[in-house]
Structure 1
Amino acid sequence: MVSWISTSISTIMALSGLAQGVLGAGASSCTVSTFSSLTLSNINITNLNVTAVYNYNGANSSSTGGTGGVGMISASTGSTAPTVNICLVYMTYTHPGQNDVVNTWIGLPLEASDWNSRFLMDGGGGWVAGGEDVILEPLMSGYSSSSTDGGHNTTASTADWGLTSEGNTNWPALWDFASVALVEAAVLGKKATETYYGSAPKYSYWNGCSTGGRQGHVMAQQHPDLFDGIVGGAPAINWDKFIPSEFWSPFMAQLLDTQPPLCVLDAFTDAAIEACDMLDGVKDKIISYPGQCHFKASSMIGRTVNCSDPSGTITITKAMTKLADAYWEGPRSAEGRFEWHGFHYDSDMSGMLTTNCTSLHNCTVIPFSISDDWMKVFLARNSSLNTDSLTRLDYDRLFRQSVNQYASVIGTESPDLTEMKLAGTKMIAWHGISDPLIPANGTVDYYTRAMKFDPDVAEYYRFFLAPGVGHCGGGTGFDPSDTVFDTLRAWVENGTVPDTLKGIATAIGHSTSSTTRTGHLCPYPKVFTYTSGDPNKASSFTCV
């Protein structure tokens, strides 16, 4: 059952040319006997492997990155060493009676002098809870770290681990992925750290985006005592709602019998940006005030679009405009009731409406893989379901089922952060407004509910919107992905309250001073606002 992991570890050691030479003071403690007491009361360990690894740079580590695009973003933790000597602890265990198998990795800088006295866990992406390579960047930056596969082989299909058999959800596996294995990896990682160095971490951190952002919110809502600081970027919270909502656009493409090529989707996005770009007073291809943008796709009926792949000219139809409006509006029931938020006008529509075309007029929409998995495996519990056969009432029924059966398991949407407040834990969440995979308004909704639950929530949890930024970074806007972790550390360790969050964007116009521009994003509900002057200067923006 665990041969694929054992092979990964041995391959890294072999391919990296790791010398098993004279052991130093730290290496002499990197043995199974040192960690013989490393366990939890609710697990049975079936394998424990401890190895001293030298000159490790991760170049040969097989990636377990986010499948299906809900990205796994590594922590930005400052300067890193080119290589690192580590004590690698790998264990496999099961929860008695649940027939599950969980793999966990713990990495420790081999010498105590190379440890920065801190513990850091990076998050996963998509269906990937984490993995061996996820501990690399924290280790390279001097942290001890741990990670988990969440109870399933990341190369297996979702149906292989999500169902015990057709028609039956594998509930223990889903619980492992959603929260259980994550918490256990944190506890085991911190215990191993204290065992190895003889002292507990001075500070402990979580840093994740997308699935990793949801995982960070799991810790904040359920186990804040494990971490002093948490980064939850583009969090995949409200999972029970936003995952079926990701199926909405391809479902509407089916109902409307229209599968437009990418060039048409881009034409809608470009037209919306052109219409709403100047709402903030700056022409920079960023819609900073999405709530004030009321572009209607119907205004493009009859417009021709010149395409290059496939090449030719195509005319926008009424059905195409209805599809674009559905993408922006989000799912509504057959009776017109709100089900979930749509995407913003400057989001890349191909994230949900990937099309495979043999010609301009012969395209097939390919549903986003994670939402397709969710509809088939966890809702219909039928891995061979033909989703093209779903009716309007079928979609509404499956949406309700998702909320009713899975909110408590993986929704991660409780606004009650009382335990986090009492623990003294600090959290920063952020979300790119142009995110094409997770609607940013879902995080706005969550933070709004958290503010309502506790009007003083900003004392320990702050949320920043990043106009023009995509999923976990990128895009034309002010991207804070490289600065947010350092901002969190300053808040935790120095008491520096994050009244703004630094973001970096590409300079616009004819800037002569730099190819980039800096902006200081605002904690919600304040709005990042252009005032006057050079839009490439941070002083031209303020928080209102």
Structure 2
Amino acid sequence: MALLSIAQALITASALLGHASASKSCTADTFMSLGLSNIHILSLNVTSAPNYSTGDSSASGVTSAPISRIPPMVDICFITLQYTHPGQNDVVNTYIGLPLNASDWNTRFLMDGGGGWTAGGLDEIIAPIASGYSSSSTDGGHNSTTSTADWGFMSEGNTNWPALWDFSSVALGEAATLGKMATEIYFGSAPKYSYWNGCSTGGRQGHMMAQRFPTYFDGIVAGSPAINWDRFQLAEYWPAFLAQLLDTQPPACVLDAFSDAAIEACDLLDGVKDGIISLPGQCHFEASSLVGQTVNCSDPNGQIIITDNIAELVKGMWEGPISLEDQFEWYGLNYDADLTSLLATTCTSVHNCTVIPFSISADWARIFLARNSSFSVQGLTRQDFDDLFRESVDQYASIIGTHNTDLTGFKLAGGKMITWHGMQDELIPTNGTVDYYTRVMGRDPTVADYYRFFLAPGVAHCGGGPGFDPSDTVFETLRVWVENGTVPDTLGAIATAVAGSNSSATRTADLCLYPKVFTYVGGDPNDASSFSCI
């Protein structure tokens, strides 16, 4: 009788925890019903992988457990589905991972986003599974080693529209549907909660989910999002174009000199000297103030005097692209952002450098706009650039722009989304996300009920830098908002400590819900209580 009572108690506890009582066998036969009406399956492979090595990868922000790293080994049921959309001549791979044992499943589903031209892949499902989630991902119709020309062209001069649709949105929605379908087949119940967690391209994908597939996810983290794709890609190309227009190719040390000077001039505007420009709107540093100064470089060695053209180039990178008629096209980088990411150079001497355009923006201009695999920035005129910009907006905004402000479907479905963006982002202009969120606020004054945005001073693209980085807290903040109704008025973040004030290497603070401003109000700058949201 006692043994029976114990067994009943264990069953009750398991039910309360929400675990499925048992999983089916991890074999192809179990998943024969997996599919969608609009796809033709080319292959289905199912593999049982007990003691699969995770490589001890970081699970930052993914798991609520008080650990910083995932287990080195995990038991996984892998499903790889290859399919095509009949008539479109595409091939898409979807990767699904399930905790092999039902007792290891936390009853939730989580997709991690991709980066750059990579929509996702096998690697993106490992950390979620090791943290107890079922997961899926997609290659979006091309793998990470495929050149953009190989998948972006149907033939030279002709855009491969189905491939771009797959990458932009279609394959993402299908991966989510197939992943949750496989979860229900295997465990006998659908996920209680479904989440998206991504940054950069992953942040764009998260916004695309909220816009195109509003019922698919209960919660979305979308950091440093590559939204406004049709506009910011040309803004990323602007530095290389402007460099050739001004016939100046400065080495990295010269660009760093401008960033350092701007930080020196504007760092203390917030009352704290910490290498961060927290109030960029109050910073009015002029690039021209460095004209005539000498920069001592070490890589390569030498001295270079800052010219008017170099200063004009940096000013243009901070302001962003402007049309031939002096009309705003898109935003530039903030003053403390690293300028060398979008304007990389290789140099044999300080006076002999070659500009290397940022690869993703160069691919966008070359493959999708000029539709010419031999296209180069060299020789472009201001009119040429404006034509490319209009081409980008006119032909691609509806496909990959990902800036639709109508989130009504997501709101009505009860979804919750948190976006954050580092103010020192060196790749995607922070103000582009501010612009989007402001437009959503203008459309729906109740937006904060379901979609919240936080700026992170001093943080680079998707993390890093001296500033207040929320990478390790944002997912758990989203989860408790979704599951417990705990509304995030602030977002916990970690920064490099201000030297001399604290024995710790880091400091913490709470980022502010936009449009409130993260403000130093006095006291020890390493103490979170010294900052407020105003």
TM-score, structure 2 as length reference: 0.94
- Residue matched to 1:439: 429
CA distance in 1 between partners of 2:109 and 2:430 (Å): 29
**Is 1:76 matched up with 2:62?**
yes
Q: Which residue of structure 1 aligns with residue 486 of structure 2?
A: 496
CA distance in 2, matches of 1:428, 1:330: 26
Residue 511 of structure 1: how far off its partner (Å): 3.3
Q: 2: distance between equivalents of 1:517 and 1:507? A: 5
1:290 CA drift (Å): 0.5
Do 2:61 and 2:473's aligned partners in 1 also have CA atoms closer than 8 Å?
no
Cα distance in 2, alignment partners of residues 462 and 381 from structure 1: 38
| Paired amino acid for 2:352 | N
Deviation at 1:509, TM superposition (A): 2.2
Corresponding position of 1:239: 229
Name the residue aligned to 1:42.
Answer: 38
Whole-angstrom distance in 2 between the partners of 1:49 and 1:364: 47
1:363 to 353, 366, 382: 353
| AA at the equivalent of 1:207 | N
The answer to whether structure 1 residue 405 and structure 2 residue 401 are counterparts is no
- C-alpha displacement of 1:73: 9.8
Name 2:378's counterpart in structure 1. Answer: 388
Q: Return the letter of the residue paired with 1:83.
A: M
- 1:320 aligns with 310
The C-alpha deviation readout for 1:249-297, integer Å capped at 9, x for no partner, is: 1100000000000110000000000000011011111000001111001
The answer as to 2:104 corresponding to 1:147 is: no
1:107-118 correspondence runs (5 A): 107-118=97-108
> Is the partner of 1:504 in helix, strand or coil?
strand
Q: Is the 8 A contact 1:75 1:137 kept in 2?
A: no
Paired AA for residue 138 in structure 2: T
- Distance, in Å, in 1 between the alignment partners of 2:379 and 2:125 is 43
SS of 1:342's partner is coil
Secondary structure of the corresponding residue to residue 269 of structure 1: helix
Q: Does the CA contact (< 8 Å) of 1:56 and 1:83 recur in 2? A: yes
- 1:75–1:138: 8 Å Cα contact kept in structure 2? no
- What letter corresponds to residue 426 of structure 1 in structure 2? K
**Structure 1: where are the runs of 5+ without partners?**
1-24, 62-71
Match of 1:541 in 2: 531
Q: What does 1:122-521 correspond to in 2, within 5 Å? A: 122-521=112-511
Paired residue for 2:16?
A: none
- What's the offset of the Cα at 1:391? 1.2
Amino acid at match of 1:36: M
Percent identity over the alignment is: 70
The farther-off stretch of 509-518 and 339-348 is: 509-518
Cα–Cα, structure 1 residues 73 and 467, in superposed 2: closer, same or farther, change >3 Å? farther
Q: Which moved more, 1:411-420 or 1:513-522?
A: 513-522
Using the alignment, how far apart are the partners of 1:491 and 1:457 within structure 2? 15
Compared with structure 1, are the counterparts of its residues 526 and 28 closer, same or farther at alpha carbon in structure 2 (3 Å cutoff)? Answer: closer
Question: Counterpart of 1:31?
Answer: 27
1:52 is matched with 48
CA distance in 2, matches of 1:386, 1:205: 41
Change in CA separation of 1:176 and 1:74 when aligned onto 2, cut-off 3 Å: farther
1:215-245 CA distance string (max 9 Å, x none): 0000111112111000000000000000011
Offset at residue 434 of structure 1 (A) = 0.4
Whole-Å Cα distance in 2 between the matches of residues 81 and 27 of structure 1? 21
- Assess if the C-alpha contact under 8 Å between 2:54 and 2:71 holds in 1: no
Q: CA deviation at 1:27?
A: 7.8
Secondary structure of the equivalent of 1:305?
strand
Greater shift, 504-513 or 225-234, is seen at: 504-513
Cα contact 2:54–2:74 (8 A) shared by 1: no
The CA distance in 1 between the partners of 2:173 and 2:192, in whole Å, is 19
CA distances 1:327-370 after superposition (whole Å, capped 9, x unpaired)? 00000001100000000000000011100000000001100000
Post-superposition CA distance 1:295-341 (Å, at most 9, x none): 00100000011110001111111100000000000000011000000
Q: Distance in 2 between matches of 1:372 and 1:364?
A: 15
Is the 8 Å Cα contact of residues 73 and 209 (structure 1) preserved in structure 2? no
SS at match of 1:350: coil
Measured after TM superposition, the shift of residue 74 of structure 1 is: 6.7
Contact 1:74/1:208 (CA < 8 Å) preserved in 2? Answer: no
Question: Which residue in the other structure is 2:4 paired with?
Answer: none
CA contact (8 A) 2:501 2:524 kept: no
How far apart are residue 36 of structure 1 and its match? Answer: 0.3
Query: 1:35 is matched by which residue type in structure 2?
Result: F
User: How many pairs align?
Assistant: 510
Q: CA deviation at 1:460?
A: 0.4
Letter aligned with residue 513 of structure 2: P
Query: CA separation in 1, counterparts of 2:232 and 2:298?
Result: 33
Contact 1:432 1:466 in 2 (8 A): yes
Q: What SS class does the counterpart of residue 215 from structure 2 fall into? A: helix
> What is the rounded CA distance, in whole Å, between the counterparts of 1:74 and 1:321 in structure 2?
39
Deviations 1:151-188 (A, max 9, x none): 01221110000001111000000000000000000000
- CA distance in structure 2 between the partners assigned to 1:530 and 1:57 by the alignment: 45
> Is contact 2:276–2:457 with CA below 8 Å preserved after alignment?
yes
The amino acid of 1:236's aligned partner reads A
Pair 1:532 & 2:522 matched: yes
Q: Distance in 2 between the 1:493 and 1:516 partners?
A: 30
Partner of 1:15: none
Measured on the aligned residues, the alpha-carbon RMSD in Å equals: 1.4
Alpha-carbon separation, structure 1, partners of 2:102 and 2:521: 50
Per the alignment, in what secondary structure is the counterpart of residue 425 of structure 2? coil
Alignment partner, residue 119 of structure 1 = 109
Work out the CA distance in 2 between the residues paired with 1:180 and 1:28.
29
For residues 296 and 202 of structure 1, what CA distance do their matches in structure 2 show? 54
- Say if 1:103 and 1:148, in contact at 8 Å, map to a contact too: yes
Q: Is the 8 A contact 1:242 1:438 kept in 2?
A: yes
Q: State the one-letter code of the partner of 2:321.
A: P
- Tell me how far apart the structure 2 counterparts of residues 153 and 463 of structure 1 sit (CA, whole Å): 31
- SS of residue matched to 1:179: helix
**1:14 matched to which residue of 2?**
none
Checking the alignment, whether the CA contact within 8 Å between 2:23 and 2:186 is kept in structure 1 is no
